[in-house]
Structure 1
């Protein structure tokens, strides 16, 4: 009962400012530059998706939407900037499965923000993760990789874009399911990780498909599997982890938009409406598909409505919290 009252109190605290927000919402918004914070380094999937969205929002809103990279702590640094920002519609964050779901359990009491400090706006895309190796490694399937690693326990590295990201957790799921010993090497974003993989200093990598697909198609890295239940049209010849014999290694990364908790509902609805329109644009859909992105259909109403996205995020917090506990992942 005490916990329920506390939750009701949080909900009331969030809702109360929205009831008093009409004056702000009636102002001419937007009338200046909007910043879309990417809590990771440039060149990763979060950054790529954010720049596609920012370009289209700039044209549709009539004001510049600039991408601001604020990496650190698995997405916590940049996300916290927006969670603590003025709720005026000029500070938004490109949220991810890590920064808005996994990290709450992973960082625990050290999290600088809580779910109730962020307002859901909408889901943009979801993408498969790809498991790949440097071409010099003598393996061509995921099963061959597992056998290769079992013969060399602890000798090979697996790279990700940071502790607690869906890429890290995908690697942990593979280690648990296959019973293999790989040393996790986290980086501050996909860009630095891919550089090391291409150079051969990291033997195995996991990345969101949009940021690695060019290297996979170009032969700089060899794809072993994608982590979705079905094959992706972007790489139709690449098997899924289930087809490779590891059905429990399934992870779909997602990217959406959140703002400060007390962001006025009219502004939330306006951004959400524009996002919905952008997703349906043939050219934007083509660009996202070429990157390996999939339509945001994970929630009952597509995930692109604020309420639908809020429910989806809450479910993801619960789901990935269980994975973190099961894999016993911690941050120092």
Structure 2
């Protein structure tokens, strides 16, 4: 489980996000609820708690985290889409839910482009290709060769059908030119346990939950599926460095609001997010956990979210993945 200090922010937040926000619009004049559509622990909850205190200080009101899990994230997401569009209910959204869920589940009840409005980026989590003792691959090149030599027999774990890990495995198989066998789990923890135990060959996931297992030697990090190396794993090459350029898997965790929240309010929250992301202490905690802080404007976040709805949805539909 990811852990962060209770008080991460500096004693005072300075700059744009620190200016009083209530004089112009009357907002905010009461606590703000940030819904996390997952249980405590994990990447979404980590991102919310990383920014909770800095946002509270910058906005002048307490940001209260509410974990509302269930339905592959849909319980919490649906609650936010149905909330009043006044800026007092926000969502810490996960890209896998945002882009894949609408294609995975018929009659979902919410549309990412219609019912949610982008606010700003919290964290980006580059994925790492991990292998366990079941496959003798010390490098990504060796893994690629092994997959090609054993089409359909190399297994890869995921946190569930339609998850980012599932999509990452499908994309890797496509890039390599040979199929792999998908083994879905109910979350990342049991998936990691079976990779370390030799029951599944590989797992493509964020490094935060796997860092402790790397130290024990039961898990190997072959490559970071990003354009830069991670400070938490400085010796692990990128996929391009390891011979597989263009294969990149990033999950993002970002703040959204119900559709209809005024742009002025979203811009103010965005400014607070960007101010917080510049804090050295937040950046240090993020780096140690294997995530990246990359502030985006409202327009940039909106464009990224729409792109992922299209791209992840296409992969899900082409693979025929469904969750009834």
3-state SS in 1 of match to 2:183? strand
Native 8 Å contact 1:134 1:220 kept in 2: yes
3-state SS in 2 of match to 1:175? helix
3-state SS in 2 of match to 1:210? coil
Native 8 Å contact 2:134 2:199 kept in 1: no
Native 8 Å contact 1:175 1:181 kept in 2: yes
Offset, 1:68: 3.0
Question: Could you report, residue by residue, the CA deviation over 1:266-324 in whole angstroms, capped at 9, with x for unpaired residues?
Answer: 4322221211110011111111122222232xxxxx52x22221122122222333333
Structure 2 match to 1:178: 176
State how far apart, in whole Å, the 2-side matches of 1:183 and 1:287 are: 35
Structure 1 match to 2:185: 187
**C-alpha distance 307-148 of structure 1, shift in aligned 2 (>3 A):** closer
Native 8 Å contact 1:46 1:255 kept in 2: yes
Offset, 1:200: 4.0
Structure 2 match to 1:324: 316
**C-alpha distance 277-311 of structure 1, shift in aligned 2 (>3 A):** same
Unaligned runs of 5+ in 1: 1-22, 297-301
Structure 1 match to 2:28: 29
3-state SS in 2 of match to 1:258? strand
Structure 1 match to 2:305: 313
3-state SS in 2 of match to 1:211? coil
**C-alpha distance 272-165 of structure 1, shift in aligned 2 (>3 A):** same
Offset, 1:116: 1.4
**C-alpha distance 99-247 of structure 1, shift in aligned 2 (>3 A):** same
**C-alpha distance 199-47 of structure 1, shift in aligned 2 (>3 A):** farther
State how far apart, in whole Å, the 1-side matches of 2:198 and 2:146 are: 16
**C-alpha distance 195-68 of structure 1, shift in aligned 2 (>3 A):** farther
Offset, 1:120: 0.8
Unaligned runs of 5+ in 2: 1-21
Offset, 1:201: 3.8
TM-score (norm 2): 0.81
Structure 2 match to 1:14: none
2:80 to 66, 79, 82: 82
State how far apart, in whole Å, the 1-side matches of 2:152 and 2:26 are: 59
**C-alpha distance 74-156 of structure 1, shift in aligned 2 (>3 A):** farther
Native 8 Å contact 1:41 1:190 kept in 2: no
Offset, 1:257: 0.3
3-state SS in 2 of match to 1:35? strand
Offset, 1:35: 2.8
Native 8 Å contact 1:161 1:207 kept in 2: no
**C-alpha distance 45-135 of structure 1, shift in aligned 2 (>3 A):** farther
Question: Could you report, residue by residue, the CA deviation over 1:213-260 in whole angstroms, capped at 9, with x for unpaired residues?
Answer: 343355442111111133333322212223333334222221110011
RMSD: 2.8
Native 8 Å contact 2:28 2:88 kept in 1: no
Structure 1 match to 2:11: none
Structure holding more helix per residue: 1
3-state SS in 2 of match to 1:289? helix
TM-score (norm 1): 0.79
State how far apart, in whole Å, the 2-side matches of 1:239 and 1:76 are: 35
Native 8 Å contact 1:161 1:167 kept in 2: yes
Q: Where do residues 130-279 of structure 1 align in structure 2 (5 Å cutoff)?
A: 130-135=128-133, 137-150=135-148, 152-217=150-215, 219-279=217-277
**C-alpha distance 127-237 of structure 1, shift in aligned 2 (>3 A):** same
Native 8 Å contact 1:120 1:259 kept in 2: yes
Aligned residues, how many?
A: 301
Offset, 1:135: 4.0
